[in-house]
Amino acid sequence: MSRYDNIKKIQNKKFTSIGTARFPKHEDKNSDILLIATQGDRCDLIAQQYYGTSELWWYIASVNNLSSNNIEAGTQLRVPVSTEQAVLK
- Report the DSSP beta bridge partners of residue 16: 11, 23
Q: Identify the band that residue 12 occupies on the pLDDT scale cut at 50, 70 and 90.
A: low
- pTM of this prediction? 0.70
Phi first, then psi: what are they for 52, rounded to 5°? Answer: 80, 5
**pLDDT band (50, 70, 90) for residue 34:** very high
List Cβ neighbours of 23 (8 Å cut-off, separation of 6 or more): 15, 16, 17, 58, 59, 62
pLDDT-derived band at 89 (thresholds 50, 70, 90) equals: very low
